[in-house]
Structure 1
């Protein structure tokens, strides 16, 4: 894990000069109540950046308000999901670096210079990792995010922080390599972080604090989040490191098969060589799971083969 050193830029809202152009992409759905303020606050930090608001078929005046505030607005004719809006924004952005933010006002623009300073320092992606002091963050949600971070760290074999944070700056040419992996609904932050780490790109972290939501209602529900959390786990396991999950399961089944045989040999039918059906089933099942995991691992590896570049020669 790399934490970006931004001591010199922390709390600085002046617009520094960067060796790249920046596009700010904001997915929005029914955020007319606060989108103008979000755009205006970003503009004070990045007066010359392109600000792209992707309106995911809102039922209110989100598109009109965002455009009036000075944003470039792209509107989906149907509601396709938060991740789909992010992908549309990335594809249509003109900047060399894409800065992703939410439209609800929880992401404080004062941390933008810190994120971009990390990109200027050589990172391919810099994530705004929320601190424990994040306002409005429930204990259950923190535990869930921590568990997800631990699983992600295990899968990509390096420590990761705040996998669910949507506040991040990414080199556009890099994220375009993996844009088809990003889901149309939720978990695009998780997928993008793990994809870049798996492919060997440099990912840094900047501590940020979130603000309270600006009006409106959050769509977060405990049951819905629980189901979504489970689906995210299944997705990242299958995408990034299947064998690191399937192999321990297969080995556990083989241990259980051995225990079943030993119980039969020493207890239920002493010193009579007989392999119980449970041991056979567990052993055969472990072989199947291992082979399935091995095949899935090979498929996953093909997804993250970096294209050859002349500047990487030698």
Structure 2
């Protein structure tokens, strides 16, 4: 079983060497890839000195790097984390074992402040995470404890069927909504989250990136749930049209005259737009269903992660040997939450 550790980095020269060595120790059979995202420091040199395979992506943006990594790397299991040293590499073997043994497509490492990580969470990030966790549940129906966690273990068929749309920190939201949209099995586990190194600068800006992520969530809602999206717009417009038209109707019933013709015309025009939105929602819902089925077929065309017992039986039936397969050591991860299979 081929395991690849993917570490997107931008100016992480002070931490990347330790992160690479930690993952090499935790997953000795894995290949660690560091994607240098237009760094202006010695991130690439220090990652290479630590034993990582270094590749460069000059187009700035985490979503851009993830798109490049997913396209370039071919493996059975992908471990994705950040290069800032905040994630606990020792949790990776348990997350990999959980993904393999339960035949999941994604295991999310939910962040819990470590004993030395009291300052790991800025207040704005805590509020934003809770807000988006609830927003995701309302918009898409998925239940996640940590939407923005960058620590994830993914299957090959998840990675190779995932269409990347956004270029920035919206990528975690997109990974989550893709999982919910086509009904992929996933689990969440608690992992330690350490405070960022004092020499490592935080890349996420609370307000600016929060607005971008909110906009991305709305756009994803429009694309994945067009019937709900346009029905909400149609209902809002209908309410406005009824409120405006009620005044005109009341005067007409009293006097028999249409004394507010502009208001009547405006009310009728708004209601026509509401009907158009509803029609658009019905049409786009059919298109979305077709696209969802196409993505599902691409996903199903790829083989799932093979459990060790299944591999042994297959090799025995083929008359082969035991082969060279990775067997991550360490305790099993205890799932915080499991999804329901579609």
TM-score category by the smaller chain?
Answer: 0.7 to 0.9
1:47–1:311 distance in 2 versus 1, CA, 3 Å: closer
Partners of 2:215 and 2:129 lie apart in 1 by 14
Offset, 1:209: 3.2
The CA distance in 2 between the partners of 1:55 and 1:228, in whole Å, is 23
Which residue matches 2:231? 247
Q: Shift in Å at residue 122 of structure 1?
A: 1.7
State the distance in 2 between where 1:243 and 1:273 align.
Answer: 38
Q: Does residue 197 in structure 1 map to residue 180 in structure 2?
A: yes
CA distance in 2, matches of 1:221, 1:162: 18
**More off after superposition, 280-289 vs 260-269:** 260-269
Matches within 5 A, 1:163-312: 163-178=147-162, 180-214=163-197, 215-266=199-250, 270=254, 272=256, 274=258, 276-305=264-293, 306-307=296-297, 309=301
2:33 matched to which residue of 1? 52
Alignment of 1:37-48 (within 5 A): 37-48=18-29
When residues 209 and 272 of structure 1 are mapped into structure 2, their CA distance, relative to the original with a 3 A threshold, is farther
- Contact (CA 8 Å) 2:169, 2:204: kept in 1 or not? no
Number of residue pairs matched? 291
Compute the displacement of 1:31 (Å).
0.9
Structure 2 distance, partners of 1:161, 1:291, is 35
Aligned partners of 1:272, 1:116: CA distance in 2, in Å?
A: 75
SS in 2 for 1:59: coil
* CA shift for structure 1 position 33: 1.2
Tell me which residue corresponds to 1:106.
86
The residue that corresponds to 1:12 in the other structure is none
5+ residue gaps, structure 2, are 305-342
- Displacement of 1:124 in angstroms is 0.9
**Distance in 2 between the 1:271 and 1:159 partners?**
55
SS of the aligned residue for 1:248 comes to: helix
**Cα distance, 1:223 vs. partner?**
3.6
Which residue of the partner structure matches residue 120 of structure 2? 136
Name the residue aligned to 1:69: 50
Higher deviation after alignment, 54-63 or 147-156: 147-156
Cross-structure match for 2:71: 91
Structure 1 residues 270 and 298: CA distance shift in structure 2, 3 A: same
1:144 deviates by: 2.0
- Using structure 1 for the length normalisation, give the TM-score: 0.83
Cα 1:64–1:268 shift into 2, 3 Å? farther
Map 1:5-24 → 2, pairs under 5 A: 20-24=1-5
4+ runs deviating over 3 angstroms: 131-135, 267-275, 308-312
Q: Match of 1:276, SS?
A: helix
Q: Do 2:113 and 2:194's aligned partners in 1 also have CA atoms closer than 8 Å?
A: no
CA contact (8 A) 1:54 1:86 kept: no
* CA shift in 2, pair 1:99/1:269, >3 Å: same
1:240 is displaced (CA, Å) by 1.9
Q: Name the stretch that deviates more: 279-288 or 297-306.
A: 297-306
Change (3 A) 1:182 1:90: same
Asked if the contact 1:238–1:296 (Cα under 8 Å) also holds between the matched residues in 2, the reply is no
